[in-house]
């Protein structure tokens, strides 16, 4: 049996290959036949360059059907796919390209001038735009199609998805074909996906939520999707009546409730709303139910593990919890004294199962740090389990801000701000935010006589890195609060700022 995920997904091709797989907001339709034809052409480009299984392809491209087919073509050919956030700037890209050493890079046409100079002599560059144009498509149209599906083992790496770390240096999580297949099968089962479903796809394709969780559920179950390239709130409401399931981050649900146009009628064909990537507030959960009659199903996961827990499809969906461990996924909660937590006790959540990644790309030391001696992955999330087995995410052991479902590592921003003239030091914290859940706030100690402004700090960070990482606000203080060990007390800072209002 071929454990290549592409083989497993397409062996599920429906009898009628002319069945619609996806329809964009512009009304363009793609069938399962198109998937087969287009990925074969794309893989033909890889073959033309003599790429081998295990080589990497990095993509920094706008969301489009072609960008999804690019990922699927990598699976088919055995390349390792490296999705890059479209907001990444020069320094972020330089590090990732240098670390992953992709044989082929596909970028937005307006990113060519940034990406090309980063490439080594043996790396190839192509463009792909959100409208399905670019010289990658031209190359694919003249390539000899690669119609096979490369035989692979379940332990072969399908994708490397970078997550930053508390030390600021991103780590590439190697996610295998087996990880993705096991999670896809489990989620289809757990959430009751069938051929009759139409997923409203509103997420970006450069994170595990939009690329793996959403697309794999559709492909595995032979459902179809309304694939929104413009995923603003108005567009989501407009296309919702054509859909049966939506997956979003809490900000999507907050914004839907902020629109008067969103009502029961918008949801008339919906059977399920799923939320994840960040905590869903019980208040939004309740308001959503009142407005629509639908109870949002919250689940919990991460890049390294895929999905770990979910509230049930049938049974109580408990607000403020992320539900029960998924079938086949083992969880344990370890207290600071090393013992397992009892009911309602808080500790660090650890995970084991076929969903757990195989390690960080070329960083065996980091991999070793994040696994226990007996093979459990240490998530860095603080959690508790109630008497009914429901898991509650209580906070984070790792210094991480989650803003609108994007992870922001304070260390990275602090290093950037500390390098500015006029700055002695800085601390970055997450403050409660009604739209993004948490908003990045920088607390800065200026050098005596420095007249540095808030806007200068924000602009500086935006120049250096993806703009969602930039502080939404900056506070200037005389000194940072520290504990007796000299460590900055971020909780004190956060409480002080929130207290000031
Ligand atoms: C955009 N901006 C943000 C932001 N998104 N700022 C803070 N936090 C965010 N999440 C800023 C941009 O930098 C820009 O700033 C301005 O807002 C407008 O950008 P935009 O692209 O037009 O934003 P918008 O369309 O409003 O995007 C909001 C959003 C998006 C919520 C739709 O952030 C989003 O799609 N989030 C989902 C992320 C996701 O898929 N996460 C899953 C990770 S996987 P300026 O200054 O340039 O104007 C994972 C595992 C798991 O966590 O369990 O799923
Ligand atoms: P990422 O590294 O981008 O995959 O983000 C994973 C992190 O998102 C997890 O470690 C959690 O901290 C957080 N997360 C995901 N889903 C939830 C959820 N439902 N509730 C709270 N936090 C979540």
Q: Are 176 and 152 in contact (CB under 8 A)?
A: no
Q: Which ligand is nearest to the CA of 469?
A: 1
Reported confidence tier of residue 397, pLDDT bands at 50, 70, 90: confident
Q: Mean pLDDT across the chain, nearest whole number?
A: 96
According to the model, what pLDDT value does residue 484 have? 86
Phi/psi for 67 (5° steps) reads: -70, -30
What does the pLDDT look like over 282-319, one tens digit per residue? 999 999 999 999 999 999 999 999 999 999 999 999 99
205-209 average pLDDT score: 98
Q: Are 356 and 376 in contact (CB under 8 A)?
A: no
According to the model, what pLDDT value does residue 51 have? 98
What does the pLDDT look like over 118-169, one tens digit per residue? 999 999 999 999 999 999 999 999 999 999 999 999 999 999 999 976 665 7
Mutate to test the pocket of ligand 1, among 247, 280, 406 (most ligand atoms within 8 A of CB): 406
Alpha helix positions (H), 23-85: 32-48, 65-77
Token pair belonging to 70: 């690019």
Q: Determine if the pTM surpasses 0.85.
A: yes
188 C-alpha to ligand 1 centroid (Å): 26
DSSP codes of every residue in 361-398: TT-HHHHHHHB-TTS-EEEEEEEEE-TT--EEEEEESS
Reported confidence tier of residue 16, pLDDT bands at 50, 70, 90: low
Reported confidence tier of residue 31, pLDDT bands at 50, 70, 90: very high
Q: Please compute, for residue 495, the number of CA atoms within 13 A of its CA located in the half-sphere on the CB side.
A: 5
Token pair belonging to 227: 């694939």
90 C-alpha to ligand 1 centroid (Å): 19
Angle at 412 between CA 251 and CA 305, to 5 degrees: 60
CA distance 18 to 31: 5
- Give the number of the atom of ligand 2 that is nearest the alpha carbon of residue 208: 4
- Give the number of the atom of ligand 1 that is nearest the alpha carbon of residue 255: 31
Q: Is the pLDDT of residue 403 over 70?
A: yes
442-467 average pLDDT score: 96
Q: Is the pLDDT of residue 4 over 80?
A: yes
Distances (CA, A) of 81 to 14, 343, 407: 26, 40, 20
Q: Is the pLDDT of residue 485 over 90?
A: no
DSSP state letter for 109? G
Q: 3-state secondary structure string, 232-259?
A: CHHHHHHHHHHCCEEEECHHHHHHHHCC
Residue 300 near ligand 2, beta carbon < 6 Å: yes
189 C-alpha to ligand 1 centroid (Å): 29
Adjacency order of strands within the sheet including 29-31: 29-31, 20-24, 224-227, 198-201, 245-248, 272-275, 297-302, 306-310, 324-325
Nearest CA to ligand 1 atom 16: 468
Reported confidence tier of residue 215, pLDDT bands at 50, 70, 90: very high
Nearest CA to ligand 2 atom 21: 279
According to the model, what pLDDT value does residue 298 have? 98
Q: Which has the closest alpha carbon to 428: 453, 393, 403?
A: 403
Residue 396 near ligand 2, beta carbon < 6 Å: yes
Q: Is the pLDDT of residue 211 over 90?
A: yes
Distances (CA, A) of 290 to 293, 459, 475: 6, 41, 38
Distances (CA, A) of 282 to 12, 253, 318: 38, 12, 9
269 C-alpha to ligand 2 centroid (Å): 29
According to the model, what pLDDT value does residue 11 have? 82
């Amino acid at each position: 049996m071929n454990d290549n995920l592409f083989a497993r997904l397409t062996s599920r091709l429906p009898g009628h290959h002319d069945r619609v797989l996806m329809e964009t907001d512009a009304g363009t339709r793609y069938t399962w036949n198109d998937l087969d034809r287009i990925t074969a052409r794309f893989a033909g480009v890889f073959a033309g360059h003599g790429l081998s299984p295990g080589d990497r392809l990095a993509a920094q491209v706008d969301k489009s059907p072609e960008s999804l087919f690019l990922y699927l073509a990598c699976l088919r050919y055995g390349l390792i796919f490296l999705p890059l956030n479209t907001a990444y700037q020069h320094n972020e890209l330089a590090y990732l390209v240098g670390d992953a050493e992709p044989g082929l890079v596909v970028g937005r046409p307006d990113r060519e001038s940034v990406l090309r100079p980063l490439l080594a002599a043996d790396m190839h560059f192509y463009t792909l735009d959100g409208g399905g144009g670019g010289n990658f498509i031209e190359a694919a149209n003249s390539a000899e199609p690669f119609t096979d599906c490369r035989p692979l083992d379940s332990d072969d790496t399908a994708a490397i998805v970078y997550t930053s770390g508390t030390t600021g240096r991103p780590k590439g999580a190697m996610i295998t074909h087996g990880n993705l297949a096991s999670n896809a099968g489990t989620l289809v089962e757990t959430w009751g996906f069938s051929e009759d479903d139409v997923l409203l796809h509103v997420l970006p394709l450069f994170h595990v939520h939009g690329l793996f969780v959403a697309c794999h559920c559709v492909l595995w179950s032979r459902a179809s999707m309304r694939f929104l390239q413009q995923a603003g709130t108005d567009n989501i409401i407009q296309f919702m009546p054509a859909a049966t399931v939506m997956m979003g981050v809490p900000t999507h649900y907050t914004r839907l409730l902020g629109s008067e146009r969103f009502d029961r009628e918008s949801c008339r064909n919906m059977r399920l709303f799923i939320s994840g990537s960040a905590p869903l507030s019980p208040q939004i959960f309740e308001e959503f139910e009142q407005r629509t009659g639908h109870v949002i199903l919250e689940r919990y996961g991460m890049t390294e593990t895929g999905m770990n827990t979910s509230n049930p499809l049938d049974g109580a969906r408990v607000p403020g919890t992320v539900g029960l461990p998924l079938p086949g996924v083992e969880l344990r909660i370890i207290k600071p004294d090393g013992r397992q937590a009892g009911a309602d006790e808080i500790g660090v959540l650890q995970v084991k199962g076929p969903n757990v990644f195989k390690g960080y790309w070329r960083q065996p030391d980091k991999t070793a740090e994040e696994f226990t001696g007996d093979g459990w992955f240490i998530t860095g999330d603080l959690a508790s389990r109630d008497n009914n087995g429901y898991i509650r995410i209580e906070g984070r052991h790792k210094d991480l801000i989650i803003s609108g479902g994007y992870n922001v590592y304070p260390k990275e921003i602090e290093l950037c701000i500390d390098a500015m003239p006029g700055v002695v030091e800085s601390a970055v914290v997450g403050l409660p935010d009604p739209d993004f859940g948490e908003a990045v706030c920088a607390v800065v100690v200026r050098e005596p006589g420095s007249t540095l402004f808030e806007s200068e700090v924000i602009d500086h960070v935006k120049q250096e890195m993806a703009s969602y990482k930039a502080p939404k606000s900056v506070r200037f203080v005389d000194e940072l609060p520290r504990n007796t060990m000299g460590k900055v007390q971020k909780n004190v800072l956060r409480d002080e700022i929130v207290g000031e209002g």
